[in-house]
Structure 1
Amino acid sequence: MATRGRLSSVAIAVLALLAEEPMHAYRMQQLMQERGVGIVVNVRNRSGLHASVERLTRDELIRVRAVERDTRHPERTVYELTPHGRETLLTSLRDNVATPAREFPLFPAVVSFLHLLSPQDTRVQLELRAEALQRQLAETQAVLTASREHGVPRLHLLEHEYLQTATSAELDWVRAVSRDISTGALTWKPYA
């Protein structure tokens, strides 16, 4: 019954939904879409969700509760959280809230090699990133606004608030560096 490694964000989302009530994968995907979970968890394709469900079943964190059959829908397997799954979920939540993970996102890595681009090229690329970040902020704000209009409690929107704050901070930094390049406060000679 041991789990293999850390839980992925998709696995945490599946376990958390099943902590609310038993459901089939299609309902999980619907709830994630309704709640805007796709902004913080990569659930764009159904195959990733199904692979996670299979892995969680294999690891005995969830189990089949029933198979629904009716004439209006294809056969649907309803899953439920096991006691081991509930404990694993709660432990993972506690660990991930309390302890910052050593993550290695791509953007800081490529920033460390900007000296290979010219300042002008870097500024252009940063401006493109700023536009993309602005779009992400608008998407997040739209989810927050729609969710609040539908009466979604703030507790279920905290991840969007966090993402909005983190994206705003990144946008501020990107704009500041771009501005410093434009004014000549930051300059270099490219190595390549």
Structure 2
Amino acid sequence: MAHGTATLTPTAVMLLALLHEDDMHAYEMVRLLRERRADRLIALTHGTIYHTVARLERQGRIVEVGSDRDGNRPERTTYALTDAGAADLLAWIRRELVSVDDPGRFRIALTEAHNLPRDEVLALLAQRRELLVASLDAHRTARDRAIAHGSHPQFLIEVHRQAALLDADIAWLDEAVEFIRRPDTVWGVVDIPATDRYLAQREAARA
């Protein structure tokens, strides 16, 4: 039985997102994550992936749907996403797209945002923008007030840095929203073109 989105790690989220695309075995998950350069975001080792797959199965978020063996290779178990796993995946993405508490988790949510409808993602990012603007205003106000009360600016350099990062984040978010909103931007799992190269990699991963 699943235990709520709080139990989901970034690695678990990315594995659930893969199964949101299609049923697959753990070896294929590793291959696809490496192809998509997920090592920028999570620790991508066979041990971590297999351990996470086992935990997700115990939690009822994924389920075995078959197995196969090719020659002398170890048997490979194919997994599918359960309704509970899908619900938790989408709820996690929704929460982290808005939250400004953990930039690392936001990167994962942004990577998997295409699992949600385009209009919903735009609405969630609009909420995030409001929080970022409020935080930027608070940092600037606090810095100005501290200087007005006699604090030397050198002691507030980190506050100034954070304000600059927030300002840049808002500017980037505005660009991202425009990109997502464009009608020629491909969006959604089912809309991704299946190129010959991609299909060949999928077949190689299944072999």
CA distance in 1, matches of 2:46, 2:64: 18
Alignment of 1:19-30 (within 5 A): 19-30=20-31
Q: Which moved more, 1:68-77 or 1:87-96?
A: 68-77
Identity %: 33
Conservation of the 8 A alpha-carbon contact between 2:23 and 2:79: yes
- Deviation, 1:155, is 6.5
Q: Aligned to 2:53, what secondary structure does the other structure show?
A: helix
With over 3 angstroms needed to count, the CA separation of the structure-2 counterparts of 1:57 and 1:51, relative to structure 1, is: same
CA distance in 2, matches of 1:101, 1:56: 25
Does residue 1:37 correspond to 2:38, yes or no?
yes
- Deviation, 1:69, is 2.0
CA distance in 2, matches of 1:2, 1:28: 21
With over 3 angstroms needed to count, the CA separation of the structure-2 counterparts of 1:37 and 1:66, relative to structure 1, is: same
Map Cα deviations across residues 78-111 of structure 1 (whole Å, 9 max, x no partner).
011001100000000000111123579xxxxxxx
Unaligned runs of 5+ in 1: 105-152, 157-192
CA distance in 1, matches of 2:67, 2:12: 21
With over 3 angstroms needed to count, the CA separation of the structure-2 counterparts of 1:2 and 1:24, relative to structure 1, is: closer
Partner of 2:19: 18
In structure 1, what residue type is equivalent to 2:22? E
Partner of 1:100: 100
Q: Aligned to 2:101, what secondary structure does the other structure show?
A: coil
CA distance in 1, matches of 2:24, 2:102: 33
Regions of 4+ moved over 6 Å: 153-156
Map Cα deviations across residues 118-153 of structure 1 (whole Å, 9 max, x no partner).
xxxxxxxxxxxxxxxxxxxxxxxxxxxxxxxxxxx8
CA distance in 2, matches of 1:154, 1:100: 26
- Deviation, 1:20, is 0.3
Aligned length, in residue pairs: 107
Unaligned runs of 5+ in 2: 105-184, 189-207
Partner of 2:127: none
CA distance in 2, matches of 1:64, 1:91: 23
Partner of 1:108: none
TM-score where L is the length of structure 1: 0.51
Partner of 2:120: none
With over 3 angstroms needed to count, the CA separation of the structure-2 counterparts of 1:48 and 1:15, relative to structure 1, is: same
Partner of 1:77: 77
TM-score where L is the length of structure 2: 0.47
